[in-house]
Structure 1
Amino acid sequence: MIPVIDIFAGPGGLGEGFSALGNGGVPAFKIRLSLEKDSNAHSTLRLRAFYRQFQKTDVPDDYYKVLRRELDVAELYTRYPSQAQAANDEAVQFTLGEETWTEAEGLIEKALNGATKWLLIGGPPCQAYSLIGRSRNKGKEEYKAQDDARHFLYREYLRILGRFRPSVFVMENVKGLLSSKPEGSLIFDTILNDLKAPVEALAESQTPLAAPTVGYRLFSLVEDDAKGKRTYVVKAELHGIPQARHRVIIIGIRDDLGAFVPDRLSVTDSVPVKDVIFGLPRLRSGISRSEDSSEAWLQLIKSSVNRRWFQTAKGMGPNMEQQLSSAISQMTKPQNDRGAEFIPHPPSVSYKPEWFLDERILGVCNHASRAHIEKDLYRYFYAACYAKAQKTSPVLRDFPKDLIPNHGNVLTAIEEGNLFEDRFRVQLSTKPATTVTSHIAKDGHYYIHPDPTQCRSLTVREAARLQTFPDNYLFTGPRTAQYTQVGNAVPPLLANQIAAIVLKLFQDLG
């Protein structure tokens, strides 16, 4: 098995894709070390590391009892001490930085155990590069991009390249990296040059570097753009991921290993939202700031017909009256109410069931709905009906006046059609989802379920399916933290395709 070091690992999406790739009946890659600073993501990472200590057919029933909330994680680790220790050694809560380099160096050296052919994967935290993150930062008078350390965390990547000389690396980040200018010039150009020559880039640092000097040839996983220019942007929806997630992904091959060139990702048919989330149990949303029960919820939604906005909505486009009336008539109390961290209701999926499903779970994990204020429930119901009738998600100007939020920036958004005009976004059932980001942890407005009779935002499990996490991948911590983990992750199914390309490289290297 090819050793892998995974840094800035998050909940482990990139590592999961590599770990799941088989080669002659055994895993092709072995995660030797995963470093992640967030405690909740690390907890998720550690539990998955425990799972991977076993062959799939030998995973103990106790693991599934943890998924069903029948057994505490601490007790699981007590019952399987050797596997728990191996998971501890693999998944380490750790903050990478110049001040922690000596400790990081020791962890990596121990994990590699003398291996010379190995793989480095990971993506430095992206909030400072993302377009929305930069938009928020512009509003902070005291914010200076050049002082934001997150812009330069990629240098921790360079330290490892310069010191340990991995044969191949895979680096992932947000598309906003291409246009970020923390010091007045494009940081992406600097990153590319530094990755090609990490030793030179670190010349002024105190990091002990490899000898001889190491360099890397950089490659994209996709075809050049229409102008023949190399692009590193991978559009996940073109590669079997049910989500329009565009990310910069760079493959580097050490330049002393020969003139090998990686294959490109295969382009496949798009996968719609319905193919991955419609097999999950139907739920209702909760009601915040008032009585929350299935009866109150049903009465609230059905009372829409007596609201002024409902009468206005009937004329908001073709088929709207029929769609609104049909949805109201189909409203019923869901069998599983608002769901839970575990529901004993076997799920299904029409897309790649062998990837998503695990019958040993005996149900669904991380599938609980959020609560919303009454006005937002009306907005969600209307938006889902509109999307079903018009085949597109409504923007603010498409809402009845009574449902438009009374916020100071709403009028500006409507008049200027700016970034936040689609603040209530339905994930269309017949198309790939829009990008699942960590913003899903803040509210559900951008992630409205396409079924109006559920009248809610997506659950953690639904978001995880859009990110292509297998159903037996448990997200730990509070629900807000679970959403954040899912939004920050690399889709494992995309990572699995990248892993196949990287495996071929290692086979060519001999």
Structure 2
Amino acid sequence: MPIPIIDLFAGPGGLAEGFSSLTNNVGDRVFKVKLSIEKDSAAHKTLTLRSFVRQFPFRKLPDEYYRFVEGEISLSELYQLFPDQYHQAADEAWQATLGETSPLEVDQRIATALGNETDWVLIGGPPCQAYSNAGRSRVGGISEEDHRVYLYKEYLRIIAKHHPAVFVMENVEGLLSAKLNDEKIFGWILRDLSDPSSVFGEHNSPGYRIYSLVKNKVSKDSDYLIRAEDFGIPQKRHRVILIGVRDDILKRPGILSRSEKVDLKSVIGLLPKIRSGISRSFSHSELVTKDDGLQSKKRFYSRFENSFEAWREQIEDFSKELLTKLDLTGFLEQHPETMGSEFLRTNDAHIAGSHSLSEWYTDNNLTGITHHISRSHLLQDLKRYLFAALYTKKNNRFPKLNDYKLFDEELLPDHGNVESGKFTDRFRVQLPDFPATTVTSHISKDGHYFIHFDPIQCRSLTVREAARIQTFPDNYIFCGNRTDQYHQVGNAVPPFLAFQIADIVSKVFYEEDDGKKISILPNTKYLTVKGKQIEIFLF
């Protein structure tokens, strides 16, 4: 029987995807997600769809799924064709807001999902904006009134109430330095997780031993930090990930095995080339007087149509000028004509490059690439993207704002904070020969930090490119509009990293030599009392 999983704050399901992709020696899944909880509507729809996929044998999806991917049938029509699988998926993926939904209702859903299982795994990452360095910077620190600071306690309450055998908790690097009232938040989170009854005494919870996934012996807080690029993830994503093991379990988990770094070019370089679009063009700014008598700057724009001819007319003269100034004459090829599409059919749909993730991404039944459509950008931003990509190609680094100023002052953004010095890397080209920088939810707002390294494409990354950087398989479909899709990808745990963690967790439950499930070995001791041998647990 597979090991049950409950997934909290699930997002689009990155952790669950990694765990449910681990199979035994006969191809069956080692873990089964019994319940995933997520509050966001679009992410919940994505969770439901991926849960539907998991109702079929691993990597054996029906033809109708690919008809849906290709746009031949709708999602509702797909579900109608497989009602049993859909109802199982709908039961598993629950839209609820932890911390607001009644704890009694949450507990009932968990108890129903688990049945009589006592040895199961809890996974998830409580919302992290309050702990992130960027989030703290925006609001001037961490406030006691920010409910996100305490949402980890809902995770802790579920541990205290339901006693998983193992839990995996993920959060941002900023958690390590975050303080509230001059006390390090990470310190009291570790204490609470080790002894849930110290916070929720009514549940008589067992204790937990907290382990690092990268160090056998922990000597400092940073030993809990995972640098994803060291473990085959094509991005420099640094996250705190803890693994807790119930005190009655003898076995301790291992640690992740380091692997060669995977560069960005190898995972997105073979995707079909597409161009950006032009949304509008900045014309001028004026000071306007509002009703209260105060003046403010108002920007005026003109709209563009997105035909290739109109796009080329705006870009090509500027391209030639840049090539001359950067001494790259003759370099630039013909710009691609298509902006891509939600499903872009291609003869090379499953090519993922020759690297360690090739098989992970690939689904040989796909006849195209999904979510590979470019955004439209402000014309002036596109010129900055083109300059940045060409400059990076020539200098092996992306330009800072001062480089734009020295090259051509017209390339500087028309923003008041340009001269503040706070955003010197406002436009960042992703370097092709290195892992990408961290894909965050900010990618949903604009593409300035995620400029494609290929100048002829002159654009920011697509959802599929961001998803590959996050190691989502190519047949993973994200629901919602494009902003929703970017947001889901940016908030996720990389599934391939979760897959490696799942392998470590599985060895707490399974014998390593024959793949057979064993009863969890309790950390027990026998005493003789009045001639009778009794069993006690050592906590």
**1:408 CA drift (Å):** 1.3
**1:57 CA drift (Å):** 5.1
Q: Does 1:234 align with 2:226?
A: yes
Q: Does 1:495 align with 2:498?
A: yes
Give the Cα separation in 2 of the matches to 1:188 and 1:377: 42
**1:202 CA drift (Å):** 2.2
Pick the aligned partner of 2:309 from 278, 295, 320.
295
Contact 1:223 1:230 in 2 (8 A): no
**1:137 CA drift (Å):** 1.6
Aligned amino acid, residue 58 of structure 2: K
Contact 1:298 1:333 in 2 (8 A): no
Q: Does 1:173 align with 2:176?
A: no
Q: What is the CA deviation profile of residues 112-167 of structure 1, one whole-angstrom value per residue up to 9, with x for unaligned ones?
A: 011011000000011111111111122xxxx9611010111000111111111000
Distance 1:154 1:57, change over 3 A: closer
Unaligned runs of 5+ in 1: 315-319
Superposed, which structure 2 residues align to 1:302-321 within 5 Å?
Answer: 302-304=316-318, 310=322, 314=325, 320-321=326-327
Contact 1:272 1:431 in 2 (8 A): yes
Percent sequence identity over aligned pairs: 51
Aligned amino acid, residue 251 of structure 1: I
Give the Cα separation in 2 of the matches to 1:458 and 1:97: 34
**1:199 CA drift (Å):** 1.3
Contact 1:243 1:435 in 2 (8 A): yes
Aligned amino acid, residue 276 of structure 1: V
Give the Cα separation in 2 of the matches to 1:227 and 1:261: 17
Please give the secondary structure, in 1, of the residue aligned with 2:235: coil
Superposed, which structure 2 residues align to 1:270-419 within 5 Å?
Answer: 270-289=261-280, 290-304=304-318, 310=322, 314=325, 320-322=326-328, 325-328=329-332, 330-334=333-337, 337-345=338-346, 346-347=348-349, 348-350=351-353, 351=355, 352-399=357-404, 400=407, 401-413=409-421, 418=422
**1:291 CA drift (Å):** 2.4
Aligned amino acid, residue 149 of structure 1: H
Pick the aligned partner of 1:261 from 252, 260, 279.
252
Distance 1:385 1:230, change over 3 A: closer
Q: Structure 1: which 4+ aligned runs deviate by more than 3 Å?
A: 224-230
Pick the aligned partner of 1:160 from 158, 161, 165.
158
Aligned amino acid, residue 441 of structure 2: S
Give the Cα separation in 2 of the matches to 1:199 and 1:281: 54
Distance 1:462 1:50, change over 3 A: same
Alignment correspondent of 2:534: none
Contact 1:343 1:365 in 2 (8 A): yes
Contact 2:336 2:457 in 1 (8 A): no
Alignment correspondent of 2:9: 8
Alignment correspondent of 1:21: 22
**1:306 CA drift (Å):** 6.7
Alignment correspondent of 1:247: 239
Unaligned runs of 5+ in 2: 281-303, 512-519, 522-539
Alignment correspondent of 1:186: 184
Alignment correspondent of 2:525: none
Pick the aligned partner of 1:425 from 428, 440, 452.
428
Alignment correspondent of 2:441: 438
Moved more, 81-90 or 61-70: 61-70
Q: How many correspondences in the alignment?
A: 481
Contact 1:327 1:453 in 2 (8 A): no
Distance 1:321 1:477, change over 3 A: same
Greater share of residues in strand: 2
Contact 2:176 2:221 in 1 (8 A): no
Aligned amino acid, residue 327 of structure 2: E
Aligned amino acid, residue 157 of structure 1: Y
Greater share of residues in helix: 1
**1:77 CA drift (Å):** 1.1
Pick the aligned partner of 2:53 from 42, 46, 51.
51
Q: What is the CA deviation profile of residues 62-83 of structure 1, one whole-angstrom value per residue up to 9, with x for unaligned ones?
A: 1111111111111111111110
> What TM-score do the two structures reach when normalised by structure 1?
0.91
Aligned amino acid, residue 166 of structure 2: V
